[in-house]
Chain A
Amino acid sequence: MTRYLTGRIGQAVLVLWAAFTVTFVLLQALPGDSIMIKFENPELGLSPAQILEVRARYGIDEPAVLQYIHTLMGFLAGDFGYSIETGTPVLQRLAEGLPETAKLAAGGFLLAVVLAVTIAFVSSYTRFAWIRGVLLAVPSLFISIPTFWLGILLIQVFSFQLRLVPVIGGTEAQSLILPVLTLAVPISAPLAQVLCRSLDAVYTQPFVAVAQAKGASRQWILWRHVARNALVPTLTVAGLTFGELIAGSVITETVFGRNGIGRLTEQAVTAQDIPVMQAIVVLAAFVFVSVNLIVDLLYPVLDPRLAAKGRVAV
C-alpha cells in the first residue's frame, strides 16, 4: 500500500513538473511580452528610448534557460513572483481569486450532480415513454448551448426581465445563483449521460430480473443495486470534469463580472502576464492531480470488490 501510494504521488509530481515545463516553453514562445504590452501602451506616452530603458531595467531579455531555473526555484520555494500587469504578488492574486472560484465551482458541481441524478432517475423510473424521451434529450441539449450564451440569456431573463435575481449589488448568495446555474448546465450533461447509461445497463442485468421475480419493488431495486453501481462511473466523470469547471469558470466569471481564477486567467492571457499564467497552470495541474488521486484512492472504499482484486496498479 505504501509503495503504491509513493508511486502514485511520484507520478503526480512528475506530471506537475512536466505541466510546468511545457507551459514555460509555450509561454516563452509567445510573441511580444508583458513589458512590451504594458509600457508600449500609447496611453503611457513613453518614447521608444524610454521603453528600451525600461526593458533593460526589468531584465526581460535574460536567457530563457536562466529564467526557467529562476522561475522553477521560485515555485519550489513557494514564490510565484509578481504579476507584471498589476505589480502585486501572484500568490496574492491567486489567494484573492481562489475562494470565489471555489464557491462557484463547488456550487456548480453540486447542482450539476443534482440535475444529473434527477434526470437519470426520473427518466429511468418513469412509466411514461415520452417523459423518458424528453429527459434523455436534455443532456444533449445542455451541451449544445455555448456557456457564455446561456449566461447572457439567464441574466437577460431572470435578472433584467423578470427581475428575480440582481447581478449587481445583491447579496453573496444572490450573486451566486445565476453563475452556478450557468456553470452547472454543461457539466450536468455528461454526468447525466453516464448515469442514464449505467442505470440502463444495470436494469438489463439478470440479477435485476431475479430480484423483480422475487417481488422486489422498482424503488428498492433502484436504490439497492442500481444507484450503488452507478456511483463509481459518476465519480470517474466527476474527476475528469475538473478541467471543464476551470474552463467554465473562465466564461462564467467573465460574463458575470466575478473576480475569480477564471477571470484572472482571461486577463493574464490578454496581458500576457506570464508569471500569473504559469502559476495558474501549476495550481490547476495540482488540483487536477490531487482530485484524481483522491478519486482513485476512493474506488476501493466505494467498491469492496475492487479492493478485493488487489492493487495491481503500477
Chain B
Amino acid sequence: MSHSSSTYRSSTSLRRRTALIAGAALAAIAMLSACASPAASGAGGAASETGDPVTGGTLTYLEYQPTTCLYAPGTGFYPNGGLLNQITDKLTYQNPETLEIEPWIADSWTVNDTATEYTFVIRDGVTFSDGTPLDAAAVAANFDAYGLGSEELKLPISEAINNYAGSTVVDEHTVTFSFTQPSPGFLQGTSVIQSGLVSPATLALPYEEQCQLKNIVGSGAFTVSSQVVDKEVDLVARDDYDWAPANSEHQGRAYLDEVKIIVTPEDSVRIGSLLSGQADYVRYVQAFDEASVEGAGFDLYAPQTRGVNNGLFLRPSNSILQDVDVRKALQAGTDTQEIVDTIFTKNYPRATSVLSSTALGYVDLSDQLTYDPDKANELLDAAGWKAGADGTREKDGAQLSLNVFVAGAQPLSKQTLELVAQQWTKIGVQLNVKPADSGTIAADIKDAEKTALNHSMVGRADQDVIKSQFHTENRDVILSNDAELDALLDALASEPDTDARNAKVADAQKYIIDQGYAIPFFEEPQVYGAANYVHGIGFEAVGRPSFYDVWLDKK
C-alpha cells in the first residue's frame, strides 16, 4: 500500500499555509544545521547512512528518568514521550526536517477557511495491537477524550488541542472535528506525542488505569513485551506493522527485533555504560560529558526542542518584580553568553528571543538581549534601589533579594542558577537558589512572593507553544496578571492565516521581552549519545527518539 502525494488533498488555504510553513522551516533548517553541526556529523538520519539496513538485533537504550503517567496528553515529559512514541502512532506526521504536516494514519484532510472544521480520511487496514481496527470511530474517540476530557473518568484536557467542540464520524474512514473558535494549531496538534492514538478499550479506562503502561494499547511499530515498573521496559517489533508515515522510505516492520529501555538515573553510570559497550544508545548526555562521549568515538545527537527557550521567567505579581524597570534590569544584568560558554556546549545555542530560532514564528530580538550591567545598574538606581551595606541593594528597608527553585527537569539547572546569582551580585541583586523537595515546590511555586522567578522551558513545534507557557489558563509560568498578554496569546492561537499568525507570535515575543517577563538563556536540545554501529537514529519534531528506523551494524 503506497501513498503518493497525489492522495494528499487539501483546501487552498491549507496549501498556501503549507508552503509558508515550508518556507519558514527551510530558514529554520539552515539555522539548525549551523547550530547542530556536531550532531549532524555523527549520523544525520537514514539518508546519510551507508550500507543497507539490517533487520534484527536488540537495542539497549538507557533512559535518564522513569516514566510517570502515560495518559497521552500528559506525556510531554521526555521519558514518557520517548516510550509512547514507539508504541503509538499519530493521525499526522510532522516532518522533523521541514516541520510540514504529512499523512500518517490520516491519508488526507481538509480544513475550512476559518479553521473551525477539520475532516480527516483515515487509512485502511490499521489495527491496534489488541486487534481492534483503527478506524474513524476510534480516532473520534481519541480526540473526544483529549479535547474534552472526561468528568467520569477523571481525564484532563490536552494542552495541544484548543477550542475543541466535538467529532462526527461520517463513515468508517472519515471523521470531522469541529471547534468553537478557530483552532489553527489543531493540525499540528494531531501529530504530537500528546495525541498518540490508543485503542478504544484503553480510552474506556479511568485516568489512573490509563496512566499505566500495561493498559496502553497502541498501533505503533513496537509493543511492550515486559515491564519492571520504574526500571525496565522491553519492546518487541510488531511483525504486521505496515502503516509507517506515507513519506517514509522505510515501510513495513521495524528493523530491530527488540528494544530494552533501562532507567539509569546516575549520569556517570549511563555514560560509562555507553562508553564501555554495555549500552548502545543513551538519552541525556550532560553537557560536561559530551567531550568524553565524542572523544571516545561515539556519536552525539542534539535535536532541538523548538519551543520556548530555557530561561528565567519573571513574575510581575511579585512585589519587587512588579516594577518593569527592575525586570528589565535583571534582563540586562544576565550574561547568557557566559552561561552558555561556562556550563554548556555548542549544542546549546544562546537564546535570541523567547522562542527558539528553530521554532515557528520566531523573531530575532538579540538586540534587546545584550549583556549590559551598566544599564542594569542605572535602571535599578532609577527605580530607587540603592546599594546596601552588604552590597545588596535596598529600598524602604527591603533587600533586592529574589527566590528561585532549582528546576529538576532542566539540564544543570542548579549550576546555571548559581552562575546567574554570581552575575547578579555585580548589580547588587541577591538570587537565592533553593533546592527543594517536590512537595515544597508544588506548594510554593504558585506564590509569586515566595517564588519570584521560574526556571523552565517548553518544547512543541507549533506557534501555540508560546501560549502554553504564558497564558493564565495554561502553564502560566509568570503567574500573569497581564490581560494584554493573554489577549495577545489568545489572538495567535485562533488566527487561521499562517502569515498573520506568525506576525502575532512575533508581537507576543516582543511584548514578553519588552515587559521583561523572560530572560531566555539558550535553545534547549535533547542530547543523546550512541555507539557508531547504531544507524538510522531519528527523532520526532521536538527531539523524542523514534526507534522505527534504527538498525544495528554490530559485527
Is A226 an interface residue, CB under 8 A from the partner? Answer: no
Count class of interface residues, chain A: 35 or more
Give the number of A-B contacts (CB < 8 Å).
147
Task: Decide if B66 is an interface residue (CB 8 Å cutoff).
Answer: yes
Cα-based distance from A44 to B60 in the complex (angstroms): 28
**Interface-forming stretch among A13-21, A163-171, A216-224?**
A163-171
In the bound complex, residues from chain B placing their C-beta under 8 Å from that of A168 are 60, 62, 262, 264, 273, 278-279
Give the secondary structure class of A's interface: helix
B260 touches A160 (CB 8 A): no
Q: Which residues of A contact B149 (CB under 8 A)?
A: 50
Q: Which of A41, A42, A87, A272 contacts B212 (CB 8 A)?
A: A87
Confirm or deny: A138 has a beta carbon within 8 angstroms of a beta carbon on chain B.
no
- The answer to whether A267 touches B230, judged by C-beta atoms less than 8 angstroms apart, is yes
With a CB–CB cut-off of 8 A, which chain A residues contact B154? 54, 57
Indicate the member of B232, B439, B440 with the most A CB atoms within 10 Å.
B439
Interface of B is mostly: loop
Distance between A45 CB and nearest chain B CB, rounded to angstroms: 3
Which listed residue, A49, A156, A263, A272, touches B438 by the CB 8 Å rule? A272
Q: Mask for B43-69, Cβ within 8 A of A = 1, else 0?
A: 000000000000000001010001011
Question: Are B475 and A42 neighbours in the complex by a CB distance under 8 Å?
Answer: yes
- Complex interface: chain B residues within 8 A of A34 (CB): 439
Question: Contact at A167–B229, with CB atoms within 8 Å?
Answer: no
Enumerate A59-89 residues with CB–CB distance to B below 8 Å: 82, 85-88
Asked if B62 and A93 make an inter-chain contact with CB atoms under 8 angstroms apart, the answer reads no
CB distance from B529 to the nearest CB of A (A): 14
A23 within 8 A of B: no
Q: Assess the A37–B456 pair: CB atoms within 8 A.
A: no
Select from chain A the residue with minimum beta-carbon distance to B207: A87
Q: Determine if B443 and A32 form an interchain contact, defined as CB atoms under 8 angstroms apart.
A: yes
Which stretch, A117-125, A239-247, A252-260, A278-286, touches the partner chain B?
A252-260
Q: Does A47 make an interface contact (CB < 8 A)?
A: yes
| A43 located at the interface, meaning its Cβ lies under 8 Å from any Cβ of chain B in the complex | yes
Shortest A88–chain B CB gap in Å is 7
Q: Please tell me if the beta carbons of A32 and B468 are within 8 angstroms of each other in the complex.
A: no
Cα–Cα distance between A85 and B228 once the two chains are bound (Å): 15
Interface size on B, residues (CB 8 A): 59
How would residues 205 to 234 of chain B score, 1 for a CB under 8 Å from any chain A CB and 0 otherwise? 000110110000000000000001111100
Task: Tell me if B276 and A255 are in contact (CB < 8 A).
Answer: no
Residue A38 at the B interface, CB < 8 A? yes
Contact B69 A38 (CB under 8 A): yes
Partner of B269, one of A38, A48, A257: A257
Partner of A255, one of B209, B231, B269, B476: B269
With CB as the reference atom, state the residue of chain A lying closest to B74.
Answer: A44
Q: Are B474 and A45 in contact (CB under 8 A)?
A: yes
Report yes or no: A267 in contact with B66, Cβ–Cβ below 8 A. yes
- In the complex, the answer to whether A271 meets B438 with C-beta atoms within 8 Å is yes
Task: Determine if A155 is an interface residue (Cβ-Cβ < 8 Å).
Answer: yes
- Judged by a CB distance under 8 angstroms, whether B157 is at the interface is yes
Q: How far is the CA of A93 from the CA of B231 in the complex (A)?
A: 12
Could you show 14 A-B contacts with beta carbons less than 8 Å apart? A36-B439, A36-B442, A41-B68, A42-B458, A42-B477, A47-B473, A50-B157, A82-B208, A93-B229, A160-B272, A257-B262, A257-B263, A257-B264, A271-B438
